[in-house]
C-alpha cells in the first residue's frame, strides 16, 4: 500500500532554489496547484523542504501538480498541500514509523462493514471509520450553514407571503367597481373568487418561472464567485429539480392563498357598497 501523509499537519516550509546541487538524487513531491500558482512553481522545479523555517532540509523535485479536491471541510482554509513519500516525511519530521491514518480500499461496499468490524476487533489503540462517517463529520460546518439557510428561507417565505397578500389585496381593491358591476349583472360570488384565484395562480406561476430563471443565473454567479474566492472546484449552489418543484409549489400555494383571501374580502361586501354607496 502506498500511503502519503498530509504535509498540512506538519507545515513544512518549502523554498524554491535554483542552483544548489543535490548530494543524492532528489525525491519527488506533488504540490497543489494553488501553491504552484502563488509561488510560481512548475513541474521540474527544485525545492527544499524543512520542518523548521530557516533550518536545513531535504531537496526535492516537483514531479506533479495536484488539483484540489472538492472537500467542504477545507474550503475556507488557505493552507497549501504537498504530497511527500511517506518514508521521507517520517524522516523529515522525526516521526519514526508512525502514521496518522491508513486508507483501506475494500472490494465493494458490502465488504466495508465487515472490514470495519474485523479491523476494530484486531487490536485496540485505533479505530476504523467508514468514508461515510468521515464525510458526515467533516461536513458538520456545512450542515450548520444549511440549517442557517433553511431558517433564512422560512423568514423569506413569510415575507413573500405578506408581500403577495398585500399586492393581491391592492389589485383586487382596485377593481371593486368592476366586481360590483359583475355581481349586479348576476355573476356569482363563487365565479368571481375563482377568477381572482386563477389570476393570482397565473401570476404566481409566471413569477415562479422568472424566479427559477433568476435563481439559476444567481446560482451560476455564486458558484463562479466563491470558486474564485476560495479557489476550489466545490459547488456552492445547486438548483435541482426538487428545489425548483418545492419553490414553484410554495409560490403557487402562496399565490392561490393570497388571491382567495383577497377575493373573499371583496365578495363579502354588498355590490352597492363596492360602488361606494
Partner 1 sequence: MILALARASLVRHRARTLLAIVGVAISAAMLLDMVMLATGMRVSFRSLLLAQGFQIRLAPRGTLPFDTDATIPGAASIVAQLYARPDVVAVSPVLGAQLHAERGAASVSAAALGTLARVQGDYKLLNGRPPVADGDVAANDALLTALGARIGDTIRVAAGFDPQLRGFTGQRTVRIVGRAHFIYLAAGERALALPLPSLQAMEGPSQKDRVSLIMVRLRDASNVEAARDAIDRQMPAVSAISTTTAIEQVEQRLSYFRQLAFILGTVSLGVGFLLVTTLVTVSVNERLGEIAVMRAIGLRRLRIVEQILIEGTVIMIVGAIAGLGLGLVTARYLNSILAAFPGLPEAIDFFLFQPRDAWIALGLLAGSGILAAIYPAWRGASLPIASTLREEAVA
Q: Does 228 bind partner 1 (CB under 8 A)?
A: no
| Of the candidate residues 25, 44, 125, 241, the single one contacting partner 1 (CB under 8 A) | 125
Burial 115-148 (b: 16+ CB within 10 A, else e): bbeeeeeeeeeeebeeeeeeeeeeeeeeeeeeee
- Residue corresponding to grid cell 497543489: 32
Smaller CB distance to partner 1: residue 15 or 191? 15
Give CA torsion, residues 172, 178, 184, 189, to 10 deg.
Answer: -30
Instruction: Tell me how many residues contact partner 1 (CB under 8 A).
Output: 40
Smaller CB distance to partner 1: residue 22 or 175? 175
Smaller CB distance to partner 1: residue 22 or 237? 237
Q: Does 276 bind partner 1 (CB under 8 A)?
A: no
| Of the candidate residues 15, 37, 70, 79, the single one contacting partner 1 (CB under 8 A) | 79
CB of 107 to partner 1, least distance (A): 26
Q: Does 151 bind partner 1 (CB under 8 A)?
A: yes
Q: Does 140 bind partner 1 (CB under 8 A)?
A: yes
CB of 206 to partner 1, least distance (A): 17
CA distances to 25, 159, 235 from 152, in Å: 58, 11, 20
> CA 218, CA 212: separation in Å to the nearest integer?
10
For partner 1, the binding residues in 253-272 under the rule CB under 8 A are: 265
Smaller CB distance to partner 1: residue 22 or 73? 73
* CA proximity to 253, closest of 218, 212, 207: 207
> CA 201, CA 128: separation in Å to the nearest integer?
54
Q: Does 123 bind partner 1 (CB under 8 A)?
A: yes
For partner 1, the binding residues in 152-171 under the rule CB under 8 A are: 152, 155-156, 158-159, 162-163, 165-167, 169-170
> CA 13, CA 93: separation in Å to the nearest integer?
12
Residue 17 gets which letter from DSSP? Answer: E
The site string for partner 1 over 29-58 (x = CB under 8 A, - otherwise) reads -----------------------xxx----
> CA 93, CA 7: separation in Å to the nearest integer?
10
* CA proximity to 34, closest of 263, 231, 272: 231
Q: Does 10 bind partner 1 (CB under 8 A)?
A: yes
> CA 89, CA 73: separation in Å to the nearest integer?
24
Residue ranges binding partner 1 (CB under 8 A): 8-11, 13, 52-54, 76-79, 94, 123-126, 140-141, 144, 147-148, 151-152, 155-156, 158-159, 162-163, 165-167, 169-170, 173-174, 226, 229, 265
Amino acid at each position: 500500500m502506498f500511503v502519503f501523509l498530509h504535509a498540512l499537519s506538519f507545515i513544512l516550509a518549502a523554498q524554491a532554489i535554483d542552483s544548489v546541487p543535490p548530494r543524492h538524487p532528489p525525491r519527488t513531491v506533488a504540490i497543489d496547484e494553488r501553491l504552484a500558482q502563488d509561488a510560481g512553481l512548475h513541474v521540474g522545479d527544485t525545492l527544499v523542504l524543512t520542518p523548521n523555517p530557516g533550518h536545513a532540509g531535504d531537496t526535492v523535485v516537483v514531479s506533479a501538480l495536484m488539483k484540489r479536491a472538492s472537500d467542504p471541510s477545507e474550503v475556507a482554509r488557505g493552507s497549501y498541500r504537498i504530497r511527500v513519500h511517506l518514508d521521507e516525511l517520517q524522516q523529515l519530521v522525526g516521526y519514526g514509523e508512525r502514521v496518522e491514518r491508513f486508507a483501506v480500499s475494500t472490494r465493494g461496499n458490502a465488504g466495508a462493514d465487515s472490514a470495519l468490524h474485523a479491523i476494530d476487533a484486531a487490536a485496540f489503540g485505533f479505530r476504523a471509520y467508514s468514508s461515510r462517517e468521515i464525510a458526515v463529520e467533516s461536513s458538520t460546518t456545512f450542515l450548520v450553514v444549511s440549517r442557517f439557510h433553511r431558517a433564512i428561507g422560512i423568514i423569506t417565505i413569510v415575507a413573500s407571503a405578506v408581500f403577495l397578500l398585500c399586492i393581491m389585496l391592492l389589485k383586487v381593491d382596485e377593481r371593486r367597481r368592476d366586481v360590483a358591476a359583475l355581481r349586479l349583472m348576476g355573476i356569482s360570488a363563487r365565479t368571481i373568487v375563482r377568477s381572482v384565484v386563477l389570476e393570482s395562480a397565473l401570476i404566481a406561476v409566471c413569477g415562479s418561472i422568472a424566479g427559477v430563471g433568476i435563481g439559476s443565473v444567481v446560482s451560476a454567479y455564486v458558484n463562479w464567485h466563491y470558486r474564485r474566492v476560495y479557489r476550489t472546484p466545490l459547488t456552492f449552489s445547486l438548483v435541482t429539480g426538487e428545489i425548483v418543484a418545492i419553490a414553484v409549489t410554495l409560490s403557487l400555494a402562496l399565490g392561490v392563498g393570497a388571491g382567495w383571501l383577497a377575493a373573499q374580502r371583496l365578495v363579502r361586501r354588498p355590490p352597492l357598497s363596492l360602488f361606494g354607496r
